[in-house]
Amino acid sequence: SPGSSLPCLTAVPLAGGVAALSMNQPSVVVGRRGGSATVSCTASASVSYIHWYLHQEGSAPKRILMLDMSRFYVQRYGGFRADKITAKKGKDSYSCDLMLLKLEKSDEGVYYCAAWESTAQPY
Protein backbone atom coordinates (compact mmCIF):
# COMPACT_ATOMS: atom_id res chain seq x y z
CA SER A 1 0.00 0.00 0.00
CA PRO A 2 1.19 3.58 -0.60
CA GLY A 3 1.64 4.35 3.08
CA SER A 4 3.79 1.33 3.90
CA SER A 5 6.72 1.61 1.49
CA LEU A 6 10.12 1.29 3.12
CA PRO A 7 12.90 3.85 2.85
CA CYS A 8 15.68 2.61 0.60
CA LEU A 9 19.05 4.14 1.34
CA THR A 10 21.68 3.79 -1.35
CA ALA A 11 25.31 4.22 -0.37
CA VAL A 12 27.94 5.28 -2.86
CA PRO A 13 31.59 5.87 -1.94
CA LEU A 14 33.31 9.09 -2.94
CA ALA A 15 37.06 9.44 -2.49
CA GLY A 16 38.88 12.74 -2.43
CA GLY A 17 41.49 14.79 -0.69
CA VAL A 18 43.93 11.92 -0.27
CA ALA A 19 45.96 10.47 -3.15
CA ALA A 20 45.13 6.87 -4.06
CA LEU A 21 42.52 6.57 -1.30
CA SER A 22 39.52 4.39 -1.98
CA MET A 23 36.27 4.27 -0.03
CA ASN A 24 34.05 1.20 0.24
CA GLN A 25 30.38 1.10 1.20
CA PRO A 26 27.50 -1.36 0.90
CA SER A 27 25.47 -0.59 -2.21
CA VAL A 28 21.97 -0.74 -0.72
CA VAL A 29 20.66 -0.48 2.82
CA VAL A 30 16.96 -0.90 3.49
CA GLY A 31 15.36 0.15 6.73
CA ARG A 32 11.90 -0.17 8.22
CA ARG A 33 9.83 2.97 8.75
CA GLY A 34 10.23 4.11 12.34
CA GLY A 35 13.30 1.92 12.73
CA SER A 36 16.97 2.57 12.12
CA ALA A 37 19.58 1.80 9.48
CA THR A 38 23.36 1.78 9.51
CA VAL A 39 25.51 2.66 6.51
CA SER A 40 29.16 1.75 6.89
CA CYS A 41 32.14 3.27 5.14
CA THR A 42 35.69 1.91 5.04
CA ALA A 43 38.70 3.76 3.69
CA SER A 44 41.76 2.06 2.25
CA ALA A 45 44.00 4.09 4.57
CA SER A 46 43.78 5.95 7.86
CA VAL A 47 41.86 9.23 7.52
CA SER A 48 41.29 12.20 9.82
CA TYR A 49 37.77 13.17 8.79
CA ILE A 50 34.88 11.40 7.13
CA HIS A 51 32.12 13.52 5.64
CA TRP A 52 28.67 12.19 4.80
CA TYR A 53 26.49 13.56 2.02
CA LEU A 54 22.89 12.92 1.06
CA HIS A 55 21.67 13.20 -2.51
CA GLN A 56 17.92 13.12 -3.01
CA GLU A 57 16.15 13.17 -6.32
CA GLY A 58 15.56 16.67 -7.65
CA SER A 59 18.08 18.41 -5.40
CA ALA A 60 21.83 18.89 -5.16
CA PRO A 61 23.88 16.68 -2.80
CA LYS A 62 24.21 18.18 0.67
CA ARG A 63 26.65 17.50 3.46
CA ILE A 64 24.80 16.14 6.48
CA LEU A 65 27.55 15.12 8.89
CA MET A 66 31.29 15.21 9.55
CA LEU A 67 33.12 12.84 11.89
CA ASP A 68 36.50 13.76 13.33
CA MET A 69 38.12 10.33 13.49
CA SER A 70 40.74 11.32 16.06
CA ARG A 71 38.48 13.10 18.56
CA PHE A 72 35.27 11.13 17.89
CA TYR A 73 33.57 14.50 17.38
CA VAL A 74 30.41 14.61 15.25
CA GLN A 75 29.30 17.80 13.48
CA ARG A 76 25.81 17.77 11.96
CA TYR A 77 24.57 20.03 9.18
CA GLY A 78 21.22 21.01 7.73
CA GLY A 79 19.34 21.02 11.00
CA PHE A 80 19.78 17.29 11.65
CA ARG A 81 19.67 16.38 15.34
CA ALA A 82 21.52 13.71 17.31
CA ASP A 83 18.32 11.68 17.64
CA LYS A 84 18.04 11.54 13.83
CA ILE A 85 21.59 10.96 12.55
CA THR A 86 24.82 10.09 14.27
CA ALA A 87 28.11 8.45 13.38
CA LYS A 88 30.75 6.45 15.15
CA LYS A 89 34.28 5.43 14.32
CA GLY A 90 35.01 1.76 13.75
CA LYS A 91 37.65 -0.22 15.59
CA ASP A 92 40.39 1.47 13.54
CA SER A 93 41.03 4.80 11.80
CA TYR A 94 39.69 3.41 8.55
CA SER A 95 35.99 2.77 9.13
CA CYS A 96 32.91 4.68 10.17
CA ASP A 97 29.22 3.88 10.62
CA LEU A 98 26.45 6.37 9.88
CA MET A 99 23.28 5.64 11.86
CA LEU A 100 19.94 6.93 10.63
CA LEU A 101 17.24 6.84 13.28
CA LYS A 102 13.44 7.12 13.24
CA LEU A 103 13.38 6.36 9.52
CA GLU A 104 10.83 8.10 7.36
CA LYS A 105 10.05 7.99 3.65
CA SER A 106 11.80 11.37 3.37
CA ASP A 107 15.12 9.73 4.37
CA GLU A 108 15.31 7.94 1.03
CA GLY A 109 18.32 8.91 -1.02
CA VAL A 110 21.90 8.21 -1.91
CA TYR A 111 24.32 8.50 1.02
CA TYR A 112 27.95 9.23 0.15
CA CYS A 113 30.96 9.06 2.39
CA ALA A 114 34.05 11.07 1.54
CA ALA A 115 37.40 11.42 3.26
CA TRP A 116 39.20 14.74 3.50
CA GLU A 117 42.16 15.74 5.57
CA SER A 118 40.40 18.93 6.60
CA THR A 119 37.09 19.94 8.13
CA ALA A 120 36.56 22.31 5.20
CA GLN A 121 33.96 21.60 2.55
CA PRO A 122 35.99 20.48 -0.48
CA TYR A 123 33.70 22.18 -3.01
Asked if 67 and 74 count as a contact pair (C-beta separation under 8 A), the reply is: yes
Position 67 in a domain: yes
Q: What is the pTM of this model?
A: 0.77
CA 1/CA 99 separation, integer angstroms: 27
The CATH number of the domain holding residue 68 is 2.60.40.10
Looking at per-residue pLDDT, the higher value among 27 and 110 belongs to: 110
**Is 17 part of a structural domain of the chain?**
no
Look at residue 91 and tell me whether its pLDDT is greater than 50: yes
N- to C-terminal Cα separation, the chain: 40
Domain membership flag for residue 123: no
Number of domains in the chain: 1
Whether 77 is covered by a domain: the verdict is yes
E strand residue ranges, 1-123: 8-13, 23-24, 28-30, 37-43, 49-55, 62-68, 73-76, 85-89, 95-100, 109-116
Q: Is residue 57 part of a domain?
A: yes
pLDDT, tens digit, 9 for 90 and up, residues 31-51: 888 999 999 998 888 888 999
Provide the domain limits for residue 38: 31-116
pLDDT of residue 15: 46
Q: 19-23, 27-31, 46-50, 52-56: which has the minimum mean pLDDT?
A: 19-23
Q: Is residue 18 domain-resident? A: no
